[in-house]
Structure 1
Amino acid sequence: MNTTNYEKPKMKFVSLRNKKEVANTCWGGHGNQMTWFYDTQGPGYVSFQIGGGKCTLNLSNVKYYENKESQGQNIDQSNEKYDELHNALKTSGGESGNPFKGEGVNFFPDPKPEWS
């Protein structure tokens, strides 16, 4: 017969915080040669480039495409699609910082086939 004493289980909390920073505080895709695409609400999507330094959100060459066959038309800050893009960029990270590297809103180097 086993006569060992019962030991009540113990629980210990251990911090799993990484000591290295993982925030992505600035744009990695800045510079006028890199074009990005964003699927706006409703029909169409926009293309854009981020000029200036990597920690500055300076949109350039912003174009709106009604569908995949359209040539795209330049839009500026007075256009609601431009405003939607700018707000999405500001809240997704970039100069305001993403929670983790590689995380953010749907910005792609190429438009997705399912976009209108």
Structure 2
Amino acid sequence: MKINLSQGSRITINGVEYSGRNVTITNGRVTVDGKEQEPALQRGPITIAVAGNVETLDLVSGKVEISGNAGTVSSASGDIQCGNVAGNAETLSGDIHCHAIGNNATSMSGNIIMKG
């Protein structure tokens, strides 16, 4: 999983808040701006909440809630909720709830709901 946050945004992953702009999760380890964080994530579903804007978010599976806007958002399996998306919003298995999407919105087995 890779997330590039806009300046001033905060991210919470499974209830733990992190500060930084570049966040990755690899094998349960969270890295923020190149520094590995403690503790490691427990196995199971990932829930991500962003207070602010996201430039890009690419997630294998999990629930994503963005209180602001996004450049592009993708998840292989999981729901996406956000404000406006400038680029694409896509999930293979999950729903997309956004105000407006600049390019394409795709979901293989979910709903695309435009809030407005």
Q: TM-score, normalised by structure 1?
A: 0.26
Higher RCO (C-alpha under 8 Å, 6+ residues apart): 1
Q: TM-score, normalised by structure 2?
A: 0.26
Structure number with higher helix proportion: 1
Structure number with higher strand proportion: 2
Larger Rg: 1
